[in-house]
Structure formats: structure tokens, C-alpha cells
Amino acid sequence: MSVEEHLADADKLEGLEAEHQGEHVEPVAFGFVGPGAWVSLAMLVFIGVLIWKGVPKVITGGLDRKIAEIKSQLDEAKKLRAEAEALRKEYADKIANAEKDAAAMLDHARTEADIIVAKAQVDSVTMVERRTKMAEDKIAAAERAAIDELRNNAARASTAAAASIIAQKHNADADRSLVDQTISAL
């Protein structure tokens, strides 16, 4: 084909396009079944399969379970609210009683404090004398303990000094003569 023939075919195509501008052709099966009918038919088949497989029962069963769960939660919430209100009332009563008890305790404590102060004034002289005696006894015991410790330290020091002197002045020859004297004495 030559260039001129191609140009002629292109002009024919442009002419056809100009004639059919604005027209839209829809595909049709069997002369009357269009795309909308195919979509409707597919949806009917899909819905029929869902019904045949029991999907609505599964959905309603799930919804029924959820409804029952929500009802039980609501019942539980009602019970908890009733318990909370009862506890609130009980604690409000306890607070009112506690305030009365606190006032009575305060009066009682003041009376007891006055009694204790009076008794403490009487007992303080006796206690001071007793503690003075105890302090004097402790001081005497500490003095005795210090004297005993001083005696023990002096005895240890004299024992150590004697052992040192004996160790310096006593040798193997002196040991032999002591052993010989002891043996002959026996």
C-alpha cells in the first residue's frame, strides 16, 4: 500500500468518527440482555447461594448471641449499681455514726487526760526518787565493774611480766637442773 492509500483510509476513519460522535454503543447478548440485566442476574444468584448455605441464620445467630451478651452485661451493671448505692448509703451512715463516736471519744479522752495528769503529778515524786536510787545503784555497779576490770588487767600484766622475766632468765641448763632436782626429790 502506498502512502496515498493510507492517507485516504485515515480520511475515511475521520469521517466515520465525526458521524458517530456522541453515540455510545452498548453490548447486548441474545438481542435483549444488557449489562444491567447481567449484574442483576449475578446478584440474584449470589443472594440465592447465601440463602442456600444458611448465611442469614449464622448472621442472626451471631446477632442473637451479641444481644444476649449485652443484656447480661446490662443486668450485671444494674446489680453493680444497686450494690454501689447500698454501699454508698452504708458508708454515709457509718460516717455519721463515726462523727458522733469521735465527739464522744474526744470528751472521754479529755476526762481521762485530766485524770492521768493528776495521777502523774502524784506519781512523779515517787518516780524521781526511784530513778535516783536506780541511778545510784548503776553508778555503784559501774564502779565495782571498773575495779574488777582494773584488778584483772593488773593480774594479766603481772602474769605477762613474770612470764617474760622467767623466759629471759631461764634457759635449757636451768631446766635440766630443775628436772634433776624434781626427779631426786621423788
Domain ranges of the chain: 25-185
The C-alpha cell that represents 30 in the structure block: 441474545
Is the pLDDT at 18 greater than 60? The verdict is no
Say which residue the cell 502524784 belongs to: 122
88-115 residue pLDDT tens: 998 888 888 888 888 888 999 999 998 9
Using CA atoms, how far apart are residues 106 and 99, in angstroms rounded to an integer? 11
Q: 72-99 burial string, b = 16+ CB within 10 Å, else e?
A: eeeeeeeeeeeeeeeeeeeeeeeeeeee
The model carries a pTM of 0.32
124-158 residue pLDDT tens: 888 888 889 999 999 999 999 999 999 999 999 88
